[in-house]
A and B are shown apart, each in its own frame.
Chain A
Amino acid sequence: GDSVTQMEGPVTLSEEAFLTINCTYTATGYPSLFWYVQYPGEGLQLLLKATKADDKGSNKGFEATYRKETTSFHLEKGSVQVSDSAVYFCALSDQGFQKLVFGTGTRLLVSP
C-alpha cells in the first residue's frame, strides 16, 4: 500500500540555519503531497501542498517540490526561527482522495 518515509528526528538547529527534512513516498498513480505542522498541544496545520509532478508548494518561507522521478517531497527553509520549533509531518493523499497517509513526523528544535 501507499507509504511515506521521512527522516528521524529530532533535528536541532540554531536560529537562521538552513533546514531540510527529507520525505520520500511510495504510491500508485499520482498522489497529492502535503506537509503538515503540529505545535505542542495542538492539532495539525497544513503548511504547504503540491498536487502534481514538478509543482512547488510554498508558505511562510518553507518550500517543497514534488519530484516524481525520485518520489520525494523534501521540506526546506532558508532561515529557521525559534518559532518554527514543532513536529513536521509529510503526507500523501492517493488519487482517489480516500485518506491521508502520514510519515512518522520529524521534530524540529531551533535554539536562539
Chain B
Amino acid sequence: KAGVTQTPRYLIKTRGQQVTLSCSPISGHRSVSWYQQTPGQGLQFLFEYFSETQRNKGNFPGRFSGRQFSNSRSEMNVSTLELGDSALYLCASRPTPADRVEQYFGPGTRLTVT
C-alpha cells in the first residue's frame, strides 16, 4: 500500500505571495492532519480534515486554510506569505479521527519564503 504523498517536495516563494500544498493520504484513510515544523517552534498542529469537513484547528492565523476533497486528498493554502512561514509542512493520515491508531506521516513539503 502506498504511503502518504505530498507535493511539491520543495517550494520557494516570495513574501506576500500565496502557496498551495497537496497531500494524498494512504488509500482508505479519510482523516488528514497538517503540521508545521520549524526550528524555533517545533512541530505544531495546524488542522485536521475528515469527510471534507475541518474537524479541529490549531492556533494559527486565518492566513492558513485547508480543504479536503471527496477522494480524501487535502490541500492547505497559505496566503500573504511571511518570512516566518518558512517551514517543513507535514501531512498525516489515519482511517478516521476515532481510530486509536498512529498517524502516518508523509515526507513533507519544504517551503522557503524569501
Chain A positions within 8 Å of B, measured between CB atoms, are 32, 34, 36, 42-46, 49, 51, 89, 91, 97-105
Interface residues on B, range: 20 to 34
Would you call the interface of chain A mostly helix, strand, loop, or mixed? strand
Shortest Cβ distance from A44 into B: residue:
B105
Find out whether the CB atom of B33 lies under 8 angstroms from the CB atom of A89. no
Name the A residues within 8 Å of B58 (CB-CB): 99
Within the complex, the shortest CB–CB distance from A72 to chain B, in Å, comes to: 19
- A34-B102, A99-B33 given; A42·B107 CB < 8 A: yes
Name the B residues within 8 Å of A36 (CB-CB): 105
Find out whether the CB atom of A99 lies under 8 angstroms from the CB atom of B107. no
Q: Mark B96-114, 1 if CB is under 8 A from A, else 0.
A: 0111101111111000000
Name the A residues within 8 Å of B105 (CB-CB): 36, 43-45
- A44-B90, A105-B42 given; A100·B104 CB < 8 A: no
Within the complex, the shortest CB–CB distance from B111 to chain A, in Å, comes to: 14
Count A/B pairs, Cβ under 8 Å: 47
Q: Mark B65-107, 1 if CB is under 8 A from A, else 0.
A: 0000000000000000000000000101000011110111111
B45: interface (CB < 8 Å): yes
B49: interface (CB < 8 Å): no
User: Which of A44, A49, A91 has most B Cβ within 10 Å?
Assistant: A44
Within the complex, the shortest CB–CB distance from B74 to chain A, in Å, comes to: 15
Known: A32-B100, A105-B43. 9 other contacts (CB 8 A): A46-B102, A89-B43, A97-B97, A97-B98, A98-B48, A99-B33, A99-B56, A100-B33, A100-B45
